[in-house]
Every structure is written in C-alpha cells, then in structure tokens.
Amino acid sequence: MSGKNDSTLIIAGSGIAGISAAISARQAYPHINIIIISGDEKGFYNRIALDSFVTGKRSIEDLYFNKQSWLEDNRIGFIHSKIISIDPENHKLVTDDSKEYSYDKLILATGASPLLPPVDGIDNNRVYSLWTLQDATNLKETLSTCESVTILGGGVLGVEAALDFAAFGKQVTLIEKSSFLMPSQLTDDSSKLLFKILNQKNISVLTNSTVESIIKNGSSVKVKIENKNYVTCDIVTVVTGVAPNLKIAKNAGININRGIITDKYMATSAPDIFACGNCTEFENNLNLLWNPAMEQGICAGQNIFKLQKEYVQKKYSVHLKSLEISLSSIGNPLEINGNDTIINLDNTGENKAIKTLAISTEGIIKYAAFVNDTDGFYQIEKAVKNRLEIPVEIIKQNSLNAVIEYVNKIYEKNSSGWVCQMCGYTHEGENPPNVCCVCGVGKDQFLVT
C-alpha cells in the first residue's frame, strides 16, 4: 500500500530525526498529508552548531537550514505545539493548547532532554544547560557579560564547550567525575594528551571530581567538589548527558525501556506508531547522536505504509567540532580486550599527536581514536564501518601507516572522500556536496581526505 491520498501522517518533533522522516515519507508517499507538530517554535535548526551560536560565530539565521523551504515546497504542514497525550486505539492525539488531531500514522521523533546531576543548587539561576536553542539563547546572553565559566561534564559536548568558551576569552574550568576526559571515546593515553592540550589553552581541568553543591554567592557561584576545594566562577554550564523523552509514549502504553523500543523498521509496539532518533532504543542501544537519528528518521518515513527499509545498527564516529583541536574517534574503548592488537602512533614531536587502533583477532578494526592529527581517520572509519578484514601480515607490521595504506589500496577504485571541517561529516563522491547535510556549511568547508 502506498498511502491513500487522504491519509495523514503526523510527526512529533522537528529535529533531524523528524525532518528526515518527513523528507523520506514525502518521497515514498507523494500524496499523503504530512504534518509536523513540534515544541520548537520555528522548526528545524542545527542543534550541533549551538556552541558556535553561543560564542557569536554563527547568527541565529545561520542555525536554520534551507530544508525549511523544502518543507513548504513539499506540502509539509508545521504546527508549533507540544503533544501531551496519545490515544493509540483511536488514532488521536492532544496538544498542550487542548487541540485534538487524528492521524493514520504517527512518528515519534521527540528527542532527548538534559540529565541534570543530583547536586544541591543545580536549579539556581546561574546554572545553564546547553541542549536546546532556548538554552543556548539564555547562555549566550549571560556569557557575553561574564568572565568565568565552570563546565560540568568532560564528555564531547563539555570539551567542545570548554574550547569554544576559552577561545571566546572566558576563564574556563572543566570538571569531570571519572578519571579521564571523554571516557566513552578515548583511552587513558589519548585522554591524557587531550588534558594537556586543554591545559595549554588555559583551561583548568579537574578529573576524578564529583560536584557536591553549587552555591550562589552574590553575582558569582561557588562550585563545591567532594573532598576538594571550591571553584568560584560567574556561571555554570551543565553538559552531563541526556536521556530520551519518554513521557507521552509511556502514558500511551507504548513499550519503553531506556528509550522507546523499536524494531528494525522503527515500528513501536503500538499499531501505526513509529519512532526514530534520540527518543528510541534499538537492540538495547540508545542512539544519542545525529547520524543515527537521521538514518532512523529516513527508515521510519519510508516504512509507514510499507515495511521496506531496515535500520542497521552501526558504529558511528564522533568528531570534536573545534578549530582548536582535531579529534575523531569511532567505537567504544571499553570494548577493547586483551586479545585485540593495539597499534599506536605516538608522535612525540612538537605537534604531539596520538593515534590508536584496536584490531580484533578476526582482523576487524573495532576502535580508533586520533587526537591532534586526524589525517588518515577517514580511511580507518571506512574500514570500521565496512568491517574490512585487515590481513595478519599487515597487522604484524604494527604500523598505523601500513594499515592506512592497505585500506587505501582496497578502496582506491572508489572516488574521493570529503570531510566537513565544521562537523566531521564525511561525503563520498568526486566533488564535495554544495551544502553539508549535517551542519549546513558550504562546500568550501570540505577538505578532500
């Protein structure tokens, strides 16, 4: 069935998952009605560029994509409202302005929300999240008038914020409770290098540090760390992770666990309701990144009337989007075990860089992280994603360059790859794309890899 002309698809959410679902549903079913209902006033914006908006490198207009006009051209309706309840049996939903809508198919793309640590004073008005455009707008107003910022959370978003705020002239302290930075992406050694580079940029980094309380003291705040001293600063930014938005799905009786549970077609347990993006859980994985949200959105949109596209869980790379340091990683360092071969390139020269590969006994690269020099990462990423088997004789050379050369040789028949210098998105083809489909920058921001 290709969708009757008068069928209505409602998509909850206008992030990358919701917008990708709308685009693919329109392509697959040209005649249906498509309506996006979103809590975001003006719809889709480039969430991953919010840091650069906060520090004034991008204007608010730069955050909105040209996909916006695509929606109008493709007859996709937009309603700014929050869905508060769903009645799966009767195919109806209600929004926070008490309006009721009927749907034939519903796609939930409601994203995630920041997880605030249970710390005394976390709710005081000098503490800011950095997840939505509203968060970023609030933070931007204050940041321009303050001198010092303490950032809670040494994951990717915390490190990016620290680099951007320091480059913006702020005195930055970065606090991480585990023993090293970006523990989901880096090994001990590469994290130590990152630590050193941040220090060189005058960012004070405190690891093994759990914040106990945040006390407002006039126009400044005191951040108390367990068994340690206070850090005094003007404001605090919290980037300690996010969790899927589950409330409306849960209240509607849809199966949830940590996220809304979907099958490989992005279908939920409720008839005619699909889900995609940060709100979902697939094969026990939460997917809290941009690319899986986009891929899941494309699947959900195509599958609403005919199950035709399967989502396949992959390894996704993470890139630090900072002009200050180049850093890319793929795979989980916690999955490295004693049987894997570790190949390290530790360049101890002036521009010190560490590149690490972990290769399984089957010859598959399961993890890679390049810090302070990402040359060759694109090739490795390709090998990881394609599960390319590296021959034993290459692995035995214990040389990163030998592995990269081998990967190059295998893929040499393919055309060039391009990497977006802003967000790390990689594009295959003879020419770079006119516009990065992830962060929206122009083709001049792409470098050949």
Ligand X SMILES: Cc1cc2nc3c(=O)[nH]c(=O)nc-3n(C[C@H](O)[C@H](O)[C@H](O)COP(=O)(O)OP(=O)(O)OC[C@H]3O[C@@H](n4cnc5c(N)ncnc54)[C@H](O)[C@@H]3O)c2cc1C
Give contact residues for ligand X (rule: CB under 6 A). Answer: 12-18, 37-40, 47-48, 50-51, 82-83, 109-112, 130-131, 157, 245, 248, 277-278, 288-291, 293, 321, 423
- The CB-of-215 to ligand X minimum distance in angstroms stands at 27
Comparison of 84 and 345: residue with beta carbon closer to ligand X: 84
Comparison of 205 and 260: residue with beta carbon closer to ligand X: 260
DSSP 123-134: TSTTEEE-SSHH
- The CB-of-17 to ligand X minimum distance in angstroms stands at 3
Comparison of 12 and 404: residue with beta carbon closer to ligand X: 12
- Here the tokens at position 174 are 């970065």
Are 445 and 438 a contacting pair, CB within 8 Å? no
Comparison of 116 and 410: residue with beta carbon closer to ligand X: 116
- Here the tokens at position 346 are 């530790």
Comparison of 319 and 366: residue with beta carbon closer to ligand X: 319
Are 121 and 148 a contacting pair, CB within 8 Å? no
- The CB-of-190 to ligand X minimum distance in angstroms stands at 18
Q: What is the rounded CA–CA span in Å between residue 201 and residue 174?
A: 12
Largest CA distance in the chain: 67
- The CB-of-202 to ligand X minimum distance in angstroms stands at 22
Beta strands in 97-238 (DSSP E): 100-102, 105-108, 112-114, 127-129, 148-152, 171-175, 203-206, 211-217, 220-225, 230-233, 235-238
Q: Is 159 helix (H, G, I), strand (E, B) or coil?
A: helix
Comparison of 268 and 360: residue with beta carbon closer to ligand X: 268
- Here the tokens at position 196 are 């050193």
Comparison of 254 and 404: residue with beta carbon closer to ligand X: 254
Are 395 and 418 a contacting pair, CB within 8 Å? no
- The CB-of-224 to ligand X minimum distance in angstroms stands at 26
DSSP state for residue 245 in the 8-state scheme: -
Type of residue at 441: V
Dihedral pair phi/psi, residue 170, rounded to 5°:
-95, 150
- The CB-of-380 to ligand X minimum distance in angstroms stands at 18
- The CB-of-14 to ligand X minimum distance in angstroms stands at 4
Q: What is the rounded CA–CA span in Å between residue 138 and residue 128?
A: 8
DSSP state for residue 334 in the 8-state scheme: G
- The CB-of-98 to ligand X minimum distance in angstroms stands at 14
Give the number of other Cβ atoms within 10 Å of residue 334's Cβ.
10
Comparison of 245 and 262: residue with beta carbon closer to ligand X: 245
Comparison of 103 and 406: residue with beta carbon closer to ligand X: 103
Identify the residue whose tokens are 């990358």. 16
Comparison of 3 and 111: residue with beta carbon closer to ligand X: 111
Q: What is the rounded CA–CA span in Å between residue 147 and residue 358?
A: 42
- The CB-of-158 to ligand X minimum distance in angstroms stands at 10
7: Cα within 13 Å, side-chain hemisphere:
18
- The CB-of-82 to ligand X minimum distance in angstroms stands at 4
Pinpoint the alpha helices (H) of 173-289.
188-200, 247-251
Percentages helix, strand, coil for the chain (3-state, rounded to 5) are 25, 30, 45
Q: What is the rounded CA–CA span in Å between residue 198 and residue 163?
A: 7
Comparison of 276 and 365: residue with beta carbon closer to ligand X: 276
- The CB-of-366 to ligand X minimum distance in angstroms stands at 19
242-244 vs 112-114, strand pairing mode = antiparallel
Q: What is the rounded CA–CA span in Å between residue 62 and residue 221?
A: 33
